[in-house]
Amino acid sequence: MKDYIEEFKKYLEWEEKILWEGHPEANIFFTKWDIIYVPMGFFLILALLKTLTLEDILGIQIIILGPIIVLYLFVIFGRFFFKYVNKKRTVYYVTNKRILVYNKSSERIIREIHIHSIKNITKDIHNNRMGTIEFGETPIMQMFGGNTGFDYFETLERFAEKLGKIFYGSGPMVPIFYDIKDAESVYRMVNELRRK
């Protein structure tokens, strides 16, 4: 995979150095939330199709219900394509000052936090040493949307704020490294930086 460190250097602060660069593993499709999302999508489509008659399908109701069916199909299948594409264009960085999530397509930093601003770090590491690291308290919208193919909704921060604290959670979106190799060593590295 192409090394993006050289083109990324323009975003670095004074005396900031890149200590680690990584990418989310694009071939990991399922998360714990898929236990809910996939069956829910199937159930909703079956329930909807069971209520339709042949006249409904050939008539005007299919025009109204068509977008709903498409939405359900996206929940079951389509979002995995968006998840794969999103992972392919994401690069993670740990510097001596910050944690950064960079989008190669838009060429911008989409999430960042200064090392000494991190109040807590949460890790979820599997037997194959792949894992996810959350740098801070994860808001509700990011918790349910992140790494599921619904990542677009996670970016609607202003809209989420208007919905209120119930939906938005306790604060701004935080950087999260999803499905990275050797997550334990990255976790230890960041904790060591926090202690310095």
**For the chain, percent helix, then strand, then coil, each to nearest 5?**
50, 20, 30
The DSSP string of 103-162 is ETTTTEEEEEEEGGG---EEEEE-TTS-EEEEESPPPHHHHHHTTTT-HHHHT-HHHHHH
Domain count across the chain: 2
Q: Is the pLDDT of residue 25 over 80?
A: yes
pLDDT at position 99 is 95
In a domain, 143, yes or no: yes
Q: Residues 146-173: what's their mean pLDDT?
A: 57
102 domain-assigned: yes
Which residues are CB-neighbours of 47 under 8 A, at least 6 positions away? none
Q: Give the separation between CA 190 and CA 96, rounded to whole angstroms.
A: 9
User: Has residue 17 been placed in a domain?
Assistant: no
Judgement on whether residues 112 and 157 belong to the same structural domain of the protein: yes
The answer as to whether 117 is a domain residue is yes
Domain end marker among 51, 86, 121? 86
| pLDDT of res. 164 | 47
| Two structure tokens written together for 71 | 């939405």
Report whether pLDDT(34) > 70: no
Lowest mean pLDDT across 8-17, 47-56, 156-165: 156-165
pLDDT(194) > 80: yes
Quick check: is 107 in a domain? yes
Judge if 104 and 152 occupy the same domain.
yes
Note whether 82 and 118 are same-domain residues: no
The residue written with tokens 């209520």 in the block is 51
Same domain, 99 and 81: no
77 and 113, same domain (yes or no): no
Summarised one tens digit per residue, pLDDT across range 132-156 is 999 988 776 666 667 776 665 555 5
Residues 100, 75 share a domain: no
Q: Which of 86, 105, 124 is the last residue of a domain?
A: 86
Check residue 105 and give its pLDDT: 78
91, 1 contact by CB (below 8 A): no
> pTM (2 decimals)?
0.74
Domain carrying residue 58: 34-86
The verdict on 82 and 96 lying in the same domain is no
Do 171 and 137 touch, CB atoms closer than 8 A? Answer: yes
pLDDT tens for each residue of 63-114 = 666 677 777 777 777 778 888 888 888 899 999 999 999 988 778 888 899 9
